[in-house]
Amino acid sequence: MAKPVGKLKKIHLSEVWGNEIKEFTTWLQQEEILEMLGEALDISLKPAGGEIPLNTLHGGVLAKDAKRGHYVIVSGHLDGMTHETFGNLIIYAAGLEAKAIVCVGKDITAEIRQSFDWLNMVSRDDVNFYATELELWRIDDSVPAPNFNVVCQPNMWARQLKMGQEEGESSDSPKPQHFPNAKATQEDSSTGAKEKNAVAEGKQGSGSKDAASVRQNFVYTKTFS
């Protein structure tokens, strides 16, 4: 006899939290939920002492990477992230020198995906940006279970490849050439010319004396012979 199976059903986020971002943020900052989110991102997340004030960062949660010890900003959104919220997210992360930024929402727009992909491409290795789409699933009448679907994350392979290319370009760069001083070259040339002239004059002078001596000897020889 076949065993019975349940029916998997996807639940809209508004059925659980409505439009109350305060309730959603409170749920998101729970240690158990941060642990589940961290498993999806391969980060050991834990609460870092409460939520971020909503007037500072709408839907923001302050967390920490348990292994590396740095701050992680988790930004939760039920209806999508606005440009203003995105800017505040970057500003708040910069103020805390956070090493990771995580956006959690129902839908991650193409603009946010492109922005996070670009930031991951130009950022240092120790600063990472993530975006996850939150889904709620239920089996029959069970309690809704969250699923974090990661849609944006750093490409470590591409970063290592880029780093290797930059190191290769720096090692292959031509070394600066040292050219001789023009003034010193001129001085050396003039010195060499003077020495050559002196040698030539010396040879010419010695040749004249030798010729006179030969003539004198010839005269003396002719007279007394």
Distances (CA, A) of 146 to 12, 127, 162: 11, 26, 36
The one-digit pLDDT tens for each residue of the chain (225 residues) are: 788 888 999 999 989 998 888 899 899 999 999 999 999 999 999 998 766 776 678 788 999 999 989 999 999 988 888 888 889 899 988 888 999 999 999 889 999 999 999 999 988 778 999 999 999 999 999 999 999 999 999 986 666 666 555 555 555 555 555 445 545 445 555 555 555 555 455 545 544 444 444 444 434 444 444
Cα torsion through 118, 121, 122, 125, rounded to 10:
140
pTM: 0.68
Which ranges of the chain would DSSP assign to H, the alpha helix? Answer: 14-17, 21-28, 31-41, 83-96, 110-122, 156-172, 182-223
Tally Cβ neighbours within 10 Å of residue 121.
Answer: 13
User: What's the topology of domain 8-160?
Assistant: Trna Endonuclease; Chain: A, domain 1 (3.40.1350)
